[in-house]
Chain A
């Protein structure tokens, strides 16, 4: 099965900082990758699909990039409401694996 490795597992950054989270697939998954945000006590929210397409209504602070095996989620200017855990997910073929998550905190 194709594995997804997210890094870092956690980060602490200041308001206004540019933050980048990476997700590496163990095999080529083209652009079949999504990013989700999960705030404490809430369900996940889709941010990015097809590696770089912003879901409807998602802030333009968020952007996704990459293809093949290396992907990134970038928050251009971190805001207090961005705290939570971020997950990547591959969906090219089952199993539709999630990455381990990256917890984002405000410094």
Chain B
């Protein structure tokens, strides 16, 4: 059974950093792209970042480019999102997701439980 277990959310002041993690199980992690998607409570889904199966190809939304870094440790079946210089508008529930293929241009067929990031002083 595919499982994505997220950790690392919390309350941080503006300008600080936070690192999200997503530990995968139940599938061959390095055969699939991985994604981060966020959602402000009560609002729609926003794509954040994606990495192909070996992180050779990575993409970011303009809203986080230069501040967020996606990475993956295929030996540990783990996806990370390093979030620097956080802003109040980054406050959201963050989901990690498993892609349906090796390339980052893929839909998301399994989702983590979500982790809340709150940026506030």
Contact = CB atoms under 8 A, between A and B. Distances in A.
Query: A and B: real partners?
Result: yes
A96 B105 contact: yes
Interface residues on B, range: 20 to 34
A104 to B, nearest CB: 14
Interface of B: 35, 37, 44-47, 50, 59-62, 95, 100, 104-109, 111-114
Contacts of A44: 37, 45, 95, 108, 111
8 contacts: A36-B45, A87-B44, A89-B47, A94-B50, A95-B47, A95-B61, A96-B59, A96-B105
Describe A's contact surface by its main secondary structure: loop
Interface of A: 1, 32, 34, 36, 38, 43-46, 49, 55, 85, 87, 89, 91-101
Given A91-B106, A95-B62, A101 B50 contact: no
Given A45-B111, A89-B45, A93-B105, 5 more contacts: A43-B112, A46-B109, A49-B107, A96-B104, A97-B47
